[in-house]
Amino acid sequence: MGWSEVVSKNGKLNESRLKGLMKGLPKKFSVISSLGPCSSGKSSVLNDLILSDFPVGSIARSQTTLGINGVGVPGKDLMILSSPPRGLLVLDVEGADSKDLQRKMPQKLAASFAITIADVVLVSFNMRDIGRLESSGISYLFQAIEENLQLRSERVVVPKKQLLVTVIRDFDEEEISRQNAIAAVMTDFRNALNTISRPTGYVATRLTDLFEFEFVTLSNKNLFPEKFDSEASALRARLVNPLEEEYLFENSDFQNALDASEFPKDAARLWKVLSENAKSRPLPDEEVAANFKCDQSYKEAYKQYNVKAKAWSDRAQRDERVIANFGRESDALVANTLEEYSQLASDYRGTKAYDRKHMELKETMLSELGLIYAKQISLVMEVLFESFCSNLNRLHVTSQLEKVIDSVVREVEKTFVRRAEEMRCKASKWRYDGAKQMFVSSLREVSTERVQIARLEGSYIPGLRAPVNFTVHYLNPSVRPEDFTIGNLIGDRPERMITVPQRARRDRSLKAERGRMYAHQEANFNSKAGETTSFDLQSPF
């Protein structure tokens, strides 16, 4: 599916190319704008979802998309539909967090334009970036939303509710459940909304006033290719197949207000307004200087940090040994690096540039150290598992085998949790829940095998498990039909009520009958391990 450059890297809108994309679309269409941080795989995700051929970087962390690239998706023309298919204009937008200061303005302009004309906003980021507003690109997304709210207040654009589709890549449910991941992302959205300036009339605006939400998780493409393809195909169907049960564009949902033929002209008008606003509100010289100095301070502090971090990473990969005091050492390294940055950029403390680079530095360090932490967790699991299996094979078999093994499993689990906590950087949000669950499951699996082997060998015979109490219930065979009179049941007719002597004779009769029929009404069992009490229950049948 061929793409066209809609906005050049120099910040020029090509209206003729936009018209060319719109010619292949039906009269009714929707605009999908894909945003996110630089070099985060936005273009790759779009190629997987809509089978486009947007250019992607061949070098890790290299920025490929400059400006805005677009592609038209006509949609499936099915004769059984009562209305024409929905066309899609898909825009791949340049990331807004480039380190190149000369691209700050074009990036901000492209993001604001894409947000404003979009009917559907698609953001994608890695699972490990949840909770990190800078790395996930959420902070830059809401900077564009800030400009959009300003345009709404000035009545440059008509307010509309958009669909925000969040794609969480490299998702692993063993690390965090889908429900918890969605809750964490929504918290990030709310925090980002609270950081932007809102014009009069939009001060009390909530997220749900601006967007409806959809969340999609994609597994790691390299580790789980078949699962990834299945998940990507499911989302693709929701975008382009009107017969899909969860089709995103039912009826007129998230449909552009303009016809396809009118859209390019209106887009050019909006681009002109945004460009003039950008020229009239240039970055102050102080902010430019702060951006430059804080960026330099960031690089210098990170360079010193990387010496220690790289040594740890190499050691973990080479020696396959747990790094002693990793938790305390990583805490100290993060604190010292941030302190170094603070001293280098002290002249600009309190500026947005200072705070932004401070947060970015912290997030980068915790992300990289988190990979080393994950490796340490794996090593701890291997060591504890090997030790557990070795001791399990040497374990003397007794009648208490299962209880002993269960106790050992709990102790090993406690040891794992203690070691994981000791190695965790206190300033991080690193989690080991999934690893613990998998580890304990492995322990119990080999434990079960050991018990079964002992049973097959005849060296272990589990004791009988007797109940603490056993009670017999039966129907009274001596109850007569005439006893079920209204008076006997509710006592509202004295002439039919059973007298005291009658009740005594009946009770004695019932007692004798029960004694004849059953030797024991209740049998109590001794619940001590390996001991049971025999009982004899005589039945009249």
Decide: residue 266, CB within 10 A, 0-12 exposed, 13-18 middle, 19+ buried. middle
Q: Which of 83-92, 130-139, 500-509, 528-537 has the lowest mean pLDDT?
A: 528-537
What is the reported pLDDT for 100?
A: 60
Instruction: Tell how far CA 56 is from the center of its chain.
Output: 25
What is the reported pLDDT for 117?
A: 87
Type of residue numbered 52: S
Q: Which of 35-39, 195-199, 359-363 has the lowest mean pLDDT?
A: 35-39
Instruction: Tell how far CA 64 is from the center of its chain.
Output: 27
Who contacts 248 (Cβ-Cβ below 8 Å, separation ≥6)?
Answer: 120, 163, 165, 214, 238, 239, 254
Q: Which of 11-20, 73-82, 90-99, 397-406 has the lowest mean pLDDT?
A: 73-82
Both tokens of 387, joined, read 């030790």
Q: Is the pLDDT of residue 112 over 50?
A: yes
What is the reported pLDDT for 237?
A: 84
Q: Which of 129-138, 415-424, 527-536 has the lowest mean pLDDT?
A: 527-536
3 state SS of 349: coil
What is the reported pLDDT for 536?
A: 37
Q: Is the pLDDT of residue 222 over 90?
A: no
Q: Which of 108-112, 217-221, 404-408, 518-522 has the lowest mean pLDDT?
A: 518-522
Type of residue numbered 380: V
Q: Phi and psi (nearest 5°) for 325?
A: 55, 35
What is the reported pLDDT for 325?
A: 85
How many distinct helices (H) and strands (E) make up the chain? 16, 9
Question: What's the average model confidence in pLDDT over 468-475?
Answer: 62
β-strands 162-169, 469-471 pairing:
unpaired
Topology at the third CATH level for domain 4-282:
Rossmann fold (3.40.50)
What is the reported pLDDT for 472?
A: 64
Question: Are 232 and 48 a contacting pair, CB within 8 Å?
Answer: yes
Sorting pLDDT into bands at 50, 70 and 90, what band is 524?
Answer: very low
* Segments making up each domain of the chain, as ranges: 4-282, 287-457, 469-524
Sign of CA dihedral 494, 496, 498, 501: positive
Question: What's the average model confidence in pLDDT over 194-207?
Answer: 83
Q: Is 67 left (phi over 0), alpha (psi -120 to 50) or beta?
A: left
Question: What's the average model confidence in pLDDT over 304-308?
Answer: 89
What is the reported pLDDT for 339?
A: 92
Q: Is the pLDDT of residue 456 over 90?
A: no
Q: How many CB atoms lie within 10 A of CB 445?
A: 9
Nearest Cα neighbor of 114 from 34, 60, 22, 3 is 34
Question: Are 142 and 134 a contacting pair, CB within 8 Å?
Answer: no
Question: What's the average model confidence in pLDDT over 348-352?
Answer: 80
- Answer yes or no: pTM beyond 0.85: no
Token pair 């003039």 is found at: 276
What is the reported pLDDT for 413?
A: 92
DSSP string, 55-89: ---SSTT-----SEEEEEE-----TT-SSPPPEEE
Sign of CA dihedral 415, 416, 422, 423: positive
Q: Is the pLDDT of residue 489 over 50?
A: no
Q: Is the pLDDT of residue 57 over 80?
A: no
Question: What's the average model confidence in pLDDT over 208-216?
Answer: 89
% residues pLDDT > 70 (the chain) = 77
% residues pLDDT > 90 (the chain) = 6
What is the reported pLDDT for 414?
A: 92
Which residues on adjacent β-strands are paired with residue 89?
Answer: 31, 72
Q: Is the pLDDT of residue 205 over 70?
A: yes
Nearest Cα neighbor of 530 from 456, 430, 439, 460 is 460
What is the reported pLDDT for 540?
A: 32
Q: Is the pLDDT of residue 180 over 70?
A: yes
What is the reported pLDDT for 333?
A: 92
* Composition of the chain by helix, strand, coil, percent to 5: 55, 10, 35
What is the reported pLDDT for 38?
A: 72
Distances (CA, A) of 231 to 46, 219, 237: 13, 8, 10
Question: What's the average model confidence in pLDDT over 346-372?
Answer: 85
Answer with the residue of higher pLDDT: 132 or 238. Answer: 238
Sorting pLDDT into bands at 50, 70 and 90, what band is 523?
Answer: very low
Q: Is the pLDDT of residue 76 over 60?
A: no
Both tokens of 194, joined, read 């609270």
